[in-house]
């Protein structure tokens, strides 16, 4: 049996954030919505002390590489359409 993991790293531009507390609140809200909508693993992975940038990663698991890739792209599209607290400035997708 083959397991495929869709892994995506996003750099989020949070322009206007002026405190770590606000940044954490914004990310917590986004992560909660992502988990509820897609049942995935998501976390901030770098630049935790930077105010206006967040580097986050999420992962999905599937039995096919094409489905994992489709899921990752659907999640990115969902973020772009439903999240108003910032924008995606960079993305990296890996299918493992």
Question: Residue 24 corresponds to which tokens in the numbers above?
Answer: 């954490």
Domains along the chain with CATH numbers: 4-95 (3.30.70.1120)
pLDDT at 5 over 90: yes
Span 21-78, pLDDT tens digits? 999 999 999 999 999 999 999 999 999 999 999 999 999 999 999 999 999 999 999 9
Tracing tokens 């935790």 back to the chain, one arrives at: 48
pLDDT at residue 87 greater than cutoff 80:
yes
CA distance 91 to 96: 16
Confidence (pLDDT) at 57 = 98
Strand 4-13 versus strand 41-46 pairing type: unpaired
pTM: 0.92
Q: How much is the pLDDT for 51?
A: 94
């Amino acid at each position: 049996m083959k397991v495929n993991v869709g892994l995506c790293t996003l750099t989020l531009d949070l322009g206007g954030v002026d405190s770590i507390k606000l940044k954490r609140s914004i990310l917590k809200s986004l992560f909660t919505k992502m988990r509820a909508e897609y049942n995935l693993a998501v976390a901030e992975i770098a630049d935790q002390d930077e105010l206006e940038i967040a580097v986050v990663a999420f992962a999905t698991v599937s039995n096919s590489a094409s489905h994992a890739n489709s899921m990752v792209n659907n999640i990115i599209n969902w973020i772009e359409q439903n999240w108003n607290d910032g924008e995606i400035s960079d993305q990296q997708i890996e299918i493992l």
